[in-house]
Amino acid sequence: MARENLRFPPGFLWGAATAAYQIEGAAREDGRTPSIWDTFSHTPGKVLGGDTGDVAVDHYHRWRDDVRLMADLGLISYRFSVSWPRVQPTGRGPAVQRGLDFYRGLVDELLAHGIQPMVTLYHWDLPQELEDAFPSGSAAGGGWPERDTAYRFAEYAGIVGEALGDRVEMWSTLNEPWCSAFLGYGSGVHAPGRTDPVAALRAAHHLNLAHGLGAQALREQLPARARIGVSLNPSAVRPLTASAGDLDARRRIDALANRVFTGPMLRGTYDDDLVADTARLTDWSFVRDDDLRITRHPLDFLGINYYSPAVVSAATEEDAAAGPRKDGHGASEHSPWPGADEHVSFHRAPGELTAMDWPVDPTGLTDLLLEYTAQAPGVPLYVTENGAAYDDKPGEDGQVHDPDRVRYLHSHIAAVHHAILAGADVRGYFLWSLLDNFEWAYGYSKRFGAVHVDYETQARTPKSSAHWYAKLAASGELPREYVAD
C-alpha cells in the first residue's frame, strides 16, 4: 500500500526565485547605468568564458511570456530582485520612471495571474558610481565598506517602497549579504572583486546597517499588512570531529558566516568572540553608537537560502602553510574568512556532487530551519532559495530530462517538511531558479533553472523538474518516495 504523501500547511507558498542581473539583460536600456557586476563581468578574467549579463535571458523584454510560463507551472509566488541602477542610476537622487514602470508592469502581470510577488531590493548589483564614491574619505574605499552606501540604500528602498508598496506585500531588503561582503571584498571572486579583509568586515557592518535603515524606510512607505524580511545564506557548518580544535573552527566560521549578520539583526550585537577573532585586523570602530539598535529592526520573516553544508576542522599543517583555499564560489588566492585562515581547514562534506561540486545533503536545511526557529522565536521562515545546477541538455525528443534535479528538490523539500513537523514555522519554498541564467563568476556554464534556456534563441523549455514542481504546487503534497520520470 502506498504510504501517505507529505502534506504541507495550507497557504504554503510554492515559488521560484531569480535576480535582476542574472536574467534581465538590457544592460544599457532605458537609462540603466552600470552596476559593479557590469564592470566586473566586463573585466577580462573575472567571469568564466568572459560571459556578462548584457543580454542574460532577455527577461527585460520577455517578461510577459515569462509570467505566463510561471502561471502555466502553477507558481503561487515569484521572488525577483529590483535592479538598483535601473531605478536610480547613479545610486542617489531622483528615480527613473521607466525603470519603476518596468517593475510595476511586472507586478501587475503577476497579480493578474494570481502570483504573489516577493521583492528583493538588493541582489548584488550596486550602482558602480557608489563603488567609486567614498565621501567619508576612508582608506577602505567606496561601495559597501563606505558607511554612506547604507544611507544611499535606505533612500533607494524608500523609492521602490513608494512605487510598489500598494501592490507588493512581501519585501526582502538584502540577498545573502555574506556574499556581498566576503566574496565581493574578501576573496574577490564576486564584484567588485576587491581583496581586503578589513574592507570585507566594514562591508558586512554597512550591509547590516543598510538592512536596518532600508527596513525603516520601507516601513514608512508601506501599508501595515506589508511584511519586511531579509534573505541570508547561513552556513550549516559542521565540525569534522568533536575535538576541541574542530569545535573551535566551527565556532569561528559560525561567527564569520552567520553571527556577523544574525547578531546585529536578531540580537543587536556583534558577539565578543567575533570581535576578538578579528582584533588583529580591526577594532570595529566603524560601528557607531546607535547602529546596533537600527540593525535590529523587527523582522516579519527570515529568508533562508540553502545549497550545501560546510565541514571544518582545526587547520591542518598543510593548509596553514598553503594559505587561502577554494571556497566553492570561484578560485582565489585570497580568503573570504578574515582572521580565520590559520585556524580553520575546510573539508568536502559527504554526498554526491552537483555540477557546482557542491555536495548534496538535505539534512543541512532541516538543521538550519530548526536552528533559526530557536534563534528567532515567533519569526516565520521562508526558504527563499534552494536548488541545484546540473548539465542539462535537451534530449532527442526535444524535452529536457533532469532527474538529478528532481531528486535534489524532492529530498530538500522533504527536509523542509521534516523541520515543520519538528516545530519550524516555515511558510514557503522558493526554488532557485525559475530559468537557467547568469551564474555570477561561472557565467552561463552552470544551469540552475527548472526551465531550460537556449542562449542562442532564448527559447524556454520547462525541464521535467518544472513539471514535477508544478504538480507539487498544485497539490501541496510531496510523495514520500522520489519517483524518476
- Give the footprint of ligand FCB on this chain (CB under 6 A): 19, 22, 175-176, 179, 233, 305, 385, 432, 439-440, 448
Tell the smallest beta-carbon distance from residue 445 to ligand FCB (Å). Answer: 12
Local structure of residue 263 (DSSP, 8 states) = I
Stretch (H or E) spanning 80: strand 77-81
Cβ density class 38-48: b for 16+ within 10 Å, e for less: bbbbeeeebbe
Q: Considering Cα of 205, then 206, then 209, then 211, what sign does the dihedral take?
A: negative
Q: Which is nearer to ligand FCB, 18 or 464 (CB)?
A: 18
Angle, in degrees to the nearest 10, between helices 363-375 and 403-421: 30
Long-range contacts of 317-326 (CB under 8 A, 24+ apart): 319/345, 324/187
Identify the three-state secondary structure at position 178.
helix
Q: Which is nearer to ligand FCB, 18 or 335 (CB)?
A: 18
Tell the smallest beta-carbon distance from residue 452 to ligand FCB (Å). Answer: 16
Q: Which is nearer to ligand FCB, 176 or 341 (CB)?
A: 176
What CA–CA distance (Å, rounded) separates 479 from 134? 54
User: Could you tell me the three cell numbers for 44?
Assistant: 577580462
Q: Which is nearer to ligand FCB, 221 or 233 (CB)?
A: 233
CA distances in angstroms from 320 to 153, 254, 315, 356, 370, listed in the order given: 38, 19, 6, 25, 33
Instruction: Tell me, rounded to whole angstroms, the distance of Cα 304 from its chain centroid.
Output: 8
Tell the smallest beta-carbon distance from residue 123 to ligand FCB (Å). Answer: 6
Tell the smallest beta-carbon distance from residue 306 to ligand FCB (Å). Answer: 10
Tell the smallest beta-carbon distance from residue 314 to ligand FCB (Å). Answer: 27
What CA–CA distance (Å, rounded) separates 436 from 131? 28
Q: Which is nearer to ligand FCB, 23 or 344 (CB)?
A: 23
For the annotated catalytic residues, the residue numbers are: 176, 385
What CA–CA distance (Å, rounded) separates 21 from 17? 13
Tell the smallest beta-carbon distance from residue 253 to ligand FCB (Å). Answer: 17
Q: Which is nearer to ligand FCB, 175 or 345 (CB)?
A: 175
User: Could you tell me the three cell numbers for 376?
Assistant: 528567532
Are residues 170 and 119 in contact, defined by beta-carbon separation less than 8 angstroms? yes
